[in-house]
Copies of this chain bind each other. A is one copy, B any other.
């Protein structure tokens, strides 16, 4: 049997859903899952290495990448541009690595359109009330920031209808098992696998 290609796994969900915990639990002890590295126009901070934290490019190069369709998705935050480099992702997938992208719904929609075989996963807390409790419990956000996050979460739920899977994170262990199961199941897709059979 030939080596199977990796899967591009897109993960989104409101801040406070516990995405990172779930993802890191699912990755424990596995070398076949890795994150992508983003391209950014932001200047490197002390200690940051090009190609490790980010691929650092100037605005002209970034615009060129957008025009040449070299990015699977891109967005702006605080006057800087960020994007996911297609060639880098494809290289990892070809090497059999499952590549995780933790991005917002708008970026996820771009990836979904450019790579319809990407696996789209939305991770949410059990309810919006629980999300509110978690955000308040962190104690890091102002009342206004919490309100904004809740409004944003409601919007994202409305826009999320193109996702394939929904993980309800009421228990991080259970949620991580579901994430692992989704990745394994996606490797069993009939049409991907049929080509490996003689």
Contacts and interface: CB of A to CB of B under 8 A. Distances in A.
Contacts of A104: none
How many copies the complex holds: the figure is 2
Interface residues of A, number: 34
A132 interface: no
A127 B197 contact: yes
Contact of A185 (B122, B124, B127, B165): B165
A194 B165 contact: no
Contacts of A163: 190
Most chain B Cβ neighbours within 10 Å, of A157, A170, A182: A182
- The SS class assigned to the A binding surface is mixed
A198 B128 CA distance: 8
Interface stretch (A25-33, A80-88, A173-181): A173-181
A142 to B, nearest CB: 26
A126 interface: yes
Interface in A1-40: 1
